[in-house]
Amino acid sequence: MGEYIDAGGVRTYCEVTGEGDAVVLIHGGATTGESWAAQVPALAARYQVFVPDRRGHGRSPDVDGPATMDGYAADLVEFMTALRLDSAHVIGWSDGGKVAVRMALSRPDLVRKLVMIGTELTRAGGTPANDRLMTTPEGLEQLSAIARSDYERLSPDGPEHFGVVFAKWTRMWTSIPDIEPSELAHLPMPVLLMQGDDDCVRIEHNTAVARAIPDAQLAVIPGGSHAVPLEKPDLVNDLLLDFLTDPQTPKFMPLGDLNS
């Protein structure tokens, strides 16, 4: 059962499940909080899980003005403030990871642990197929077809508003500022980077990001695509729960170079 939260003037739909330390799940672009259905029960067995719909997505109405990753991150800060959440584990998938990392950079005090799933932080960090999907007429037509049915089913703005929000997303996707790996060097919280081995992110990009962060882990899931939380939910959930657990299992033979 969901409710609406007034998050700094943004009427944000949210579902809350479970008890314990807070976990906030941030969905991807052109999707909704429903995309986390395979993760919520596993996480809610140990944590209190908050699943908001970002403005203009799902059951949350659109707001005047452009869509930007920084704007969504500011919304997330207001959301946590409205719920009196002093801090939370924040997990973002795809665009949700871009939102989450921007909040972690601007308000690190709010993020206990950060997870980015299938998230490229620079244009060059994405695959050519991802670039075609996000920037070409053919790719955007495909995304529009995928997003339209859920939008028309859930949005309080009505189906006729889909063209307005999709135009905002399109402008955002073609102009997202890069975050270079070096900009993440001062993140104070543990970070998990997760992706499928056939994802939208170049594996070497996430390796570079992991090397730049003092306390980072990298998980590449075999046989997984950009939809790996749906394709391999048990494995994804086990990795998330392991990462969120403290203390972490100590490394017996650290011979790699992620943090050397």
Beta bridge partners of 88: 111
DSSP state of 50: E
42 band by pLDDT with thresholds 50, 70 and 90: very high
257 band by pLDDT with thresholds 50, 70 and 90: confident
May I ask the CATH class of domain 2-244?
alpha beta
Q: What confidence tens digit (pLDDT) does each residue in 209-232 have?
A: 999 999 999 999 999 999 999 999
256 band by pLDDT with thresholds 50, 70 and 90: confident
Residue 248 has pLDDT above 70, yes or no: yes
Token readout for 43 is 């996480």
Q: What confidence tens digit (pLDDT) does each residue in 49-89 have?
A: 999 999 999 999 999 999 999 999 999 999 999 999 999 99
Beta bridge partners of 92: 26, 116
Rounded percentage of the chain residues whose pLDDT exceeds 70 = 99
pLDDT the model gives residue 258: 79
Q: H helices then E strands: how many in the chain?
A: 9, 8
- Separation CA 121–CA 180 (nearest Å): 7
Side-chain half-sphere exposure of 111, counting CA atoms within 13 A: 29
3-state class percentages of the chain: helix first, strand second, coil last, to nearest 5: 45, 20, 35
Residue 260 has pLDDT above 70, yes or no: no
Q: At what angle do helices 95-106 and 69-82 cross, to 10 degrees?
A: 70
Q: Is 83 exposed, middle or buried (0-12, 13-18, 19+ CB in 10 A)?
A: middle
Extents of the domains making up the chain: 2-244
Q: Which residues contact 249 (CB under 8 A, 6 or more apart)?
A: 242
3-state secondary structure of 217: strand
Q: Which among 110, 112, 117 is positioned nearest to 89, based on CA atoms?
A: 112
Q: Which residues contact 254 (CB under 8 A, 6 or more apart)?
A: none
The mean pLDDT value for 170-189 works out to: 96
90 band by pLDDT with thresholds 50, 70 and 90: very high
